[in-house]
Chains A and B, each alone.
Chain A
Amino acid sequence: MDEWKPNPATKPHKKRSWYLAWKYKLMNQRALRKLCQTGAVLFLLVTVIVNIKLILDTRRAAYEEEEESAQDYDDEMLNVEVPRHPASNKKVLDVEVYSSRSKVYVAVDGTTVLEDEAREQGRGIHVIVLNQATGHVMAKRVFDTYSPHEDEAMVLFLNMVARGRILIFTIKDEGSFHLKDTAKNVLKSLGSQVAPFLSWRDMWTFVGKKGGEVYGEKHAKSPALSTWGDPVLLKTEVHLTSVEDAECHWPDTELTRRRKRFCSKVEGYGSVCSCKDPTPIEFNPDPLKDNKVFDVPVAVIAGNRPNYLYRMLRSLLSAQGVNPQMITVFIDGYYEEPMDVVELFGLSGIQHTPISIKNARVSQHYKASLTATFNLFPDAKFAVVLEEDLDISVDFFSFLSQSIHLLEEDESLYCISAWNDQGYEHTAEDPSLLYRVETMPGLGWVLRKSLYKDELEPKWPTPEKLWDWDMWMRMPEQRKGRECIIPDISRSYHFGIVGLNMNGYFHEAYFKKHKFNTVPNVQLKNVESLRKDAYETEIHRLLGEAEVLDHSKNPCEDSFVPDTEGKVYVMFIRMEQEADFTTWTQLAKCLHIWDLDVRGNHKGLWRLFRKKNHFLVVGVPASPYSSKKPSSVMPIYMEPPAKEEGAAA
């Protein structure tokens, strides 16, 4: 405070002397005149000072403002928080629920919170969960209970919703065909009187509190198989409770604050929001010794599947050697719930305005995410790229830490991927084994910055090209003969069932039986032999050691491979030239591995396991390893199926 002279302190003193002078000088006339003169001068002086000060102040204010706006050409000054829901102090909510063949809507206090009149979409039971204290929408789901198994998903979801929440149901089109008794009983237990008798093309609306009162229910029966029930509109009132009643009493910590925020906004995440025994949101897995990927940024590519993202981030944050500070979640679109999940775990998330459509949209989202990742971490030489529908193995980072130097040093490598396309329960065996493959599996992989910046980014497919980014990356113009390193047993697991290119059947057939490593701290074997030339030596050694299988037998039969363990076998198939995969595709089909395109090959060689034996397949004569074929052996040829059969598969 040394230089600052407090002005106000002098004021009273001045006032006092003024008063005394006035009193004294009133004594004679001359003094009075003099006083008037002095007063006028003083008044003038004060006016001038006040005016100057005013001018100075205005100018300074103007200058400050100008400086503020001049540099900041994009400053949205105000971040006005628009409440998602009205009236926190209001005690009663008006709820309107409409159910019909082609349209459903739900309005809360006049605000539409659900409206679906799209054709050929949104069939089934729509469920909305409201916070009983604030009226906020906490979850919105639709279960297509016309189709099988969706009712099970609905039961799972309803069981996860906390007691006390307000549940709103409405049917669009048809919601009863595969609505089994279990589900009907759950609805009944919520207080619905109609649910047990819901039938074909009935319209139905219901509002109730979980574990509490029923606010209303309406139902319209379908008169005949070919027609729908009349539209129903339910109007009712819901009484709000106090915020304290709706919240859990967790101890006040940093973590709790995140959890509270999350739990007051969304529903459907099970025990994260359990009052009694909430599941942890911080994991602190063991650090890795000599972690070579601690400073490698991790980009999680996400869409609007917040439940998937939740599962994915849990597994990622539980993996040994994870560094949460390096993780960024990139959300394709302005979705709130995925962002809520990201914040729950204390990670950073970035939203991306969707551009273009479908595959091109995903592709543009990838590009933006990768560019942003390298901008945010300019020192990084690599980035780990993950998707929201992957489980991450406990030794994911350990696996990368042991292999990343290869990507740095061996220019013939394109990527390291955690996923083995051919690594199914019955075809993968050795967690310490790595392969080189000519295909790019994706699903949890490491990208070299120089590859991205110098090659991929400048010519990334533009939005009007409706290309899959991964297909594009697999094209020879991009891959340029380089290979990826993969583990025998995958370090990621693809659990997504709903997705752009994904459905239940597809997932069941190609992903469900994929092997996933659960062993921590696996020491990888012979990592140096994965280098370009060393790998050839290794393959020749393997082939030299391999026992040639009996080519007169059917390779699809189990008996094709002897009942041994730990041996190396080789078989030869016909492969006329580099791109001839006729026999391979048939073999892959009958072995129940990936057959939709060719994956996992290295110079016409495939490596997998059968009955715990290493099983090598060599394409003759295209593969350079054909020379290992004994002249007596006739390469196996398998014919592609007739047309109809192909279409059915």
Chain B
Amino acid sequence: SVKQHVVRKFLGLISSHNIPVYLIDPLVLGLVDKDIEQIKSSPGGPSLECKYFCAPRDFTTFALLDKTWKHEVGLFRTAEKMGFQWLKIINKDPRLDGMDDLSGIEIPLHYIFKLASHAIHLVVFYERSGNYLWHGPLRLKQHMDRKFVPFRKLHFGRYPGAYEKPELLLISIDDLKVQIPKNPSSFLEEMSHSRFLECRYREARAFFQLYPDDASLDAVEFRKKAKSLLHLAALTLNNLGVKFWLSSGTCLGWYRQCNVIPHSKDVDLGVFIRDYKADIIPAFQKAGLPLKHKFGKVEDSLELSFQGEDDVKLDIFFFYEEDDHIWNGGTQAKSGKKFKYLFPKFTLCWTEFVELKVHVPCETLQYVEANYGPDWKIPVKTWDWKSSPSNVQYNGVWPIDEWDDVIQIY
């Protein structure tokens, strides 16, 4: 088959230049995943049929770790000699994007090698601060050949993506030796929600032009503590397998200024109530963050607060999904009053924040506007969580006999 032939030639090309690539094609990985045990146990035997690489499709997708090769021009010369046509898609280096005044070099994000009717899509992955891999979006510049391949069918490149560094496994399928992620099904799962949002560095710069950053020692200290608290919280929740995102002030800080808001006093995270685990409280306590208060209950308005170092507090708000909106609750300790904060429905995207790969709502603007109103761009120093948010609703009072359970302060 043409496909198998092209893949074979490509792998030959790549190995002749000592470039390590691994297969990330979702269709092929999906087929491989079904037979994974069998493939692992019978390595290398000649196979008569072409089972994986010959399935009908226009591309086969591979990944390349940027730091494992040297951008030699020789590769492309050899490719041309072998009959490949190739296309390189470059763009600005996002790792330098946050820095106002560096004219970053452009870096290759995607390569496409075309031979006969089949094409190889090579996605370049970069290591970024926060110990994760990133690939860029595929955007054609004006002069580029839009018909080179049917770009819209590509599996990677519609959005940038963030991934864990995968463990690799060398397998032999259809008479070809190829590296794949060790656990194809979890890679495919990861791929399905890998969309990455870059921080809005340009807007953040404009914000700081209007409102110069607080460079006082107190601000520096708070940011340092908030950062380490966030790192600790992320570690704890990730170990438990609890998915979380930046919420409230922490989310606003990311979206508006790509940094922790120095006068915000705490770190706010959101968690879907369906992801709640009873282990959360003991895990944080074990990590050195004692429970400060617990409001509400799993069925209604749950909210946990943990005490970090020197007065910096970690708030975890649990979110409840309804048909047309999502909400979280608040409780006033002294009166037992309940509040409800309403958000339009959202999905989760990855981003990088204070050297951490974390989730934020993909529809961040709607999320922030729901919470802080249309004037979210203007910093406010006095904030009352009961009245300031534009999405707050009064939600009655907890029955007195439940108070011991739903209002716990330590």
Q: Which residues of A contact B (CB under 8 A)?
A: 1-4, 64, 67-68, 71-75, 77-78, 254, 325, 330, 334, 348-355, 368, 371-372, 374-376, 378-379, 453-454, 458-459, 462
Q: In the complex, which residues of chain A have a beta carbon less than 8 angstroms from the beta carbon of B129?
A: 374-375, 378
Given contacts A64-B146, A378-B129, contact A4 B159 (CB under 8 A): no
The distance in angstroms between the C-alpha atoms of A355 and B101, with both chains bound, is: 8
Q: Is the CB of A458 within 8 A of B96?
A: no
The 8 A-B pairs at the shortest CB distance, nearest first, are namely: A353-B101, A378-B129, A375-B95, A1-B117, A351-B103, A458-B220, A459-B220, A72-B139
Given contacts A254-B74, A462-B215, contact A378 B99 (CB under 8 A): no
* Contact residue among A3, A372, A374 (Cβ-Cβ distance under 8 Å from B102): A372
How far does the Cβ of A374 sit from chain B's closest Cβ, in whole Å?
7
In this complex, what residue of B is CB-closest to A4?
Answer: B117
* Contact residue among B92, B96, B100, B137 (Cβ-Cβ distance under 8 Å from A375): B96
Q: Is the CB of B142 within 8 A of A350?
A: no
Q: Is the CB of A378 within 8 A of B139?
A: no
The distance in angstroms between the C-alpha atoms of A462 and B214, with both chains bound, is: 11
- Interface of chain B: mostly helix, strand, loop or mixed: loop
Q: In the complex, which residues of chain A have a beta carbon less than 8 angstroms from the beta carbon of B2?
A: 1
Q: In the complex, which residues of chain B have a beta carbon less than 8 angstroms from the beta carbon of A74?
A: 92, 202
Q: Is the CB of A78 within 8 A of B103?
A: no
User: 16 A-B contacts, Cβ less than 8 Å apart?
Assistant: A71-B139, A71-B159, A74-B92, A74-B202, A75-B141, A77-B141, A348-B105, A350-B103, A351-B103, A352-B101, A353-B102, A368-B101, A372-B95, A378-B129, A378-B131, A459-B217
How far does the Cβ of B114 sit from chain A's closest Cβ, in whole Å?
13
Q: In the complex, which residues of chain A have a beta carbon less than 8 angstroms from the beta carbon of B130?
A: 378
Q: In the complex, which residues of chain A have a beta carbon less than 8 angstroms from the beta carbon of B92?
A: 74
The distance in angstroms between the C-alpha atoms of A368 and B127, with both chains bound, is: 19
* Contact residue among A71, A353, A458 (Cβ-Cβ distance under 8 Å from B103): A353
Q: In the complex, which residues of chain A have a beta carbon less than 8 angstroms from the beta carbon of B101?
A: 352-355, 368
Q: In the complex, which residues of chain B have a beta carbon less than 8 angstroms from the beta carbon of A349?
A: 105
In this complex, what residue of A is CB-closest to B152?
Answer: A64
How far does the Cβ of B376 sit from chain A's closest Cβ, in whole Å?
19
Q: Is the CB of B146 within 8 A of A379?
A: no
Q: In the complex, which residues of chain B have a beta carbon less than 8 angstroms from the beta carbon of A325?
A: 70
Q: In the complex, which residues of chain B have a beta carbon less than 8 angstroms from the beta carbon of A348?
A: 105
Q: Is the CB of B140 within 8 A of A68?
A: yes
How far does the Cβ of B364 sit from chain A's closest Cβ, in whole Å?
14
How far does the Cβ of A613 sit from chain B's closest Cβ, in whole Å?
48
Q: Is the CB of A350 within 8 A of B73?
A: no
Q: Is the CB of B105 within 8 A of A78?
A: no
Give the A-B pair count, Cβ closer than 8 A: 85
Given contacts A71-B137, A379-B127, A459-B217, contact A3 B56 (CB under 8 A): yes
How far does the Cβ of B118 sit from chain A's closest Cβ, in whole Å?
9
Q: Which residues of B contact A (CB under 8 A)?
A: 2, 56, 70, 73-74, 91-93, 95-96, 98-105, 116-117, 127-131, 137, 139-142, 146, 158-159, 200, 202, 215, 217, 220, 223-224, 355
- Interface of chain A: mostly helix, strand, loop or mixed: mixed
Q: Is the CB of A458 within 8 A of B131?
A: no
In this complex, what residue of B is CB-closest to A349?
Answer: B105
Q: In the complex, which residues of chain A have a beta carbon less than 8 angstroms from the beta carbon of B103?
A: 334, 350-353
The distance in angstroms between the C-alpha atoms of A371 and B105, with both chains bound, is: 15
Q: Is the CB of A458 within 8 A of B139?
A: no
Q: Is the CB of A350 within 8 A of B127?
A: no
Q: Is the CB of B102 within 8 A of A352?
A: yes
Q: In the complex, which residues of chain B have a beta carbon less than 8 angstroms from the beta carbon of A454?
A: 224
Q: In the complex, which residues of chain B have a beta carbon less than 8 angstroms from the beta carbon of A78?
A: 142
Q: In the complex, which residues of chain A have a beta carbon less than 8 angstroms from the beta carbon of B116?
A: 1
The distance in angstroms between the C-alpha atoms of A433 and B266, with both chains bound, is: 50
How far does the Cβ of B66 sit from chain A's closest Cβ, in whole Å?
10
In this complex, what residue of A is CB-closest to B58?
Answer: A3
Q: In the complex, which residues of chain A have a beta carbon less than 8 angstroms from the beta carbon of B200?
A: 73
Q: In the complex, which residues of chain A have a beta carbon less than 8 angstroms from the beta carbon of B131?
A: 378
Which residue, B92, B98, B129, B202, has most C-beta atoms of chain A within 10 A? B129
Q: Is the CB of A77 within 8 A of B105?
A: no
Q: Is the CB of B355 within 8 A of A350?
A: no
Q: Is the CB of A75 within 8 A of B139?
A: yes
How far does the Cβ of A62 sit from chain B's closest Cβ, in whole Å?
13
The distance in angstroms between the C-alpha atoms of A434 and B303, with both chains bound, is: 57
Q: Is the CB of A376 within 8 A of B96?
A: yes
In this complex, what residue of B is CB-closest to A254?
Answer: B73
The distance in angstroms between the C-alpha atoms of A78 and B141, with both chains bound, is: 8
In this complex, what residue of B is CB-closest to A68?
Answer: B139
How far does the Cβ of B137 sit from chain A's closest Cβ, in whole Å?
5
How far does the Cβ of B241 sit from chain A's closest Cβ, in whole Å?
24
In this complex, what residue of B is CB-closest to A77?
Answer: B142
In this complex, what residue of B is CB-closest to A326?
Answer: B67
In this complex, what residue of A is CB-closest to B142?
Answer: A77
The distance in angstroms between the C-alpha atoms of A75 and B106, with both chains bound, is: 11
Q: In the complex, which residues of chain B have a beta carbon less than 8 angstroms from the beta carbon of A371?
A: 99
Q: In the complex, which residues of chain B have a beta carbon less than 8 angstroms from the beta carbon of A1?
A: 2, 116-117
* Contact residue among B73, B95, B220 (Cβ-Cβ distance under 8 Å from A376): B95
Q: In the complex, which residues of chain A have a beta carbon less than 8 angstroms from the beta carbon of B73?
A: 254
Given contacts A77-B141, A378-B131, contact A372 B99 (CB under 8 A): yes
* Contact residue among A2, A73, A350, A453 (Cβ-Cβ distance under 8 Å from B56): A2
The distance in angstroms between the C-alpha atoms of A334 and B101, with both chains bound, is: 11
Which residue, B102, B105, B131, B202, has most C-beta atoms of chain A within 10 A? B102
Q: In the complex, which residues of chain B have a beta carbon less than 8 angstroms from the beta carbon of A254?
A: 73-74
The distance in angstroms between the C-alpha atoms of A347 and B139, with both chains bound, is: 27
The distance in angstroms between the C-alpha atoms of A75 and B137, with both chains bound, is: 12
How far does the Cβ of A425 sit from chain B's closest Cβ, in whole Å?
40
Q: In the complex, which residues of chain A have a beta carbon less than 8 angstroms from the beta carbon of B223?
A: 458
